[in-house]
Amino acid sequence: MEYKIIYDKLKDFISEDRIKINEPMKNHTSFQIGGACDILVLPRSQSEIKKIIDLCRENQTPFFVMGNGTNLLIKDSGIRGVVIKLAQNFNDIKVDGNIITCKAGVAMSAISRAALENSLSGLEFANGIPGSVGGACVMNAGAYGGEMADVVKKVKVMDFEGNVYEMSKDQIGYSYRKSSLQKGDKILLEVEMELKPGNYDEIKSKMEKCMSLRRQKQPLNMPSAGSAFKRPKDNYAGLLIEKAGLKGYSIGGAMVSDLHAGFIVNTGNATCADVEALLNHVKKVVKEKFNIELEPEIKIRGN
């Protein structure tokens, strides 16, 4: 194995059950697509993350940091080097008054439940959003009138030299589905959110409404990476794609959802190449018909 020295050194400070060799990335993305990575590691602490990065840098080994993989499409050839997954092992939550602080690997569904349990309003929109708080914070995920920028107060990050520091909301620089955290030059460790005291029953009702709308309008029963395209100005990607006659259109195992044209789904055997070809075809047809350039929301990574 090309990275055996990395594997052996990882075992010095991480238990073997949290290190995977030649791990199929389709097992770690909601799209259920992607070739294998050389090594996948599941850190539990900030110190472990620093040690992993130091090890990779010392050995000139590429590394990639991911959350729950719900907005991610991995190439069919996989990912070389080390994948650092901040998910189920990196998921502490702390509530202090109307402030919720959590590790980046906390699931969005878990953080919305924590807010509800403490009668805190502001994260109702997050109910049913797949993925981790870290990924949602980086992408400024949102739905049904809410987004992460509404609640994030500050974040804790680590740069690739191992320096840990805080960034304020202004420094993050949020806009629609964008933030400075997308530059990929730092790792999001922790998020602090400021919510508002609310009524438990009202918060629960809003959460249930958001979930009901998702079930009605989104293809939750099929593997996907959520919305395939960002919303263009004064329009809707799904509506444009449907008007272009592409609802149900497929290439290989990838299909424009026949429930919501804003989603591309894996019908069972889709490859990354299928999805990329379909994304490009949809972009081309929408541009030809409406002179609108669609921007993919899905992040594509790999070799």
pLDDT tens for 194-223 read 999 999 999 999 999 989 988 888 999 999
Could you tell me which residue, 165 or 129, shows the higher pLDDT? 165
Neighbours of 272 (CB within 10 A): 23
Looking at residues 143-166, what average pLDDT do you find? 93
What is d(CA 252, CA 247) in angstroms, rounded to the nearest whole number? Answer: 15
Mean pLDDT over residues 137-166, rounded? Answer: 92
- Residue 224 phi/psi, 5° resolution? -155, 180
Better-scored residue on pLDDT, 89 or 293: 293
**Structure confidence at residue 89 as a pLDDT band (50, 70, 90):** confident
- Residue 90: per-residue pLDDT: 84
**pTM of the predicted protein model:** 0.91
List the domains of the chain with CATH numbers: 4-85 (3.30.43.10), 93-202 (3.30.465.10), 219-301 (3.90.78.10)
Q: CA separation (Å) from 125 to 67, 131, 211, 249?
A: 19, 13, 9, 30
Set 132, 177, 190, 224: catalytic member: 177
Q: Has 45 been annotated as catalytic?
A: no
Q: Confidence band (pLDDT; 50, 70, 90) for 1?
A: low
Catalytic residue among 132, 227, 231, 276: 227
The answer to whether 100 and 81 are in contact (CB under 8 A) is: no
Q: Is the dihedral of CA 183, 141, 266, 239 positive or negative?
A: negative
What span, in angstroms and rounded, lies between the C-alpha atoms of 132 and 223?
Answer: 17
Nearest to 189 by CA among 225, 149, 169, 162: 162
Average pLDDT of span 272-293: 98
- Is residue 242 annotated as a catalytic residue, yes or no? no
pLDDT tens per residue, range 102-132: 999 999 999 999 999 999 999 999 988 888 9
- Under the banding of pLDDT at 50, 70 and 90, the label for residue 303 is confident
State yes or no: pLDDT of 88 exceeds 80. no
Active-site annotation holds for 227: yes
- Mean pLDDT rounded to a whole number for the chain: 94
Q: Which of 23, 48, 147, 297 is catalytic?
A: 297
- Predicted pLDDT of residue 177: 85
pLDDT of residue 263 exceeding 80 = yes
Task: Map tokens 């729950």 to a residue.
Answer: 68
pLDDT tens digits for range 90-105:
889 999 999 999 999 9
Among 286, 199, 193, 295, residue whose Cα is nearest residue 244 = 286
Alpha carbon distance 118, 96 (integer Å): 10
Percent of the chain topping pLDDT 70 = 100
User: Which residue pairs from 199-204 have beta carbons closer than 8 angstroms and sit at least 24 positions apart in sequence?
Assistant: 199/119, 200/116, 200/119, 202/121, 203/115, 203/116, 203/119, 203/120, 203/121, 203/124, 204/116
| Nearest C-alpha neighbor of 223 from the set 258, 254, 177, 262 | 254
The average pLDDT across 242-255 equals 98
- Dist CA 62 CA 196 (whole Å): 42
Predicted pLDDT of residue 144: 80
Question: What tens digit of pLDDT does each residue of 41-66 get?
Answer: 999 999 999 999 999 999 999 999 99
> Alpha-carbon dihedral of residues 182, 185, 188, 194, nearest 10 degrees?
-60
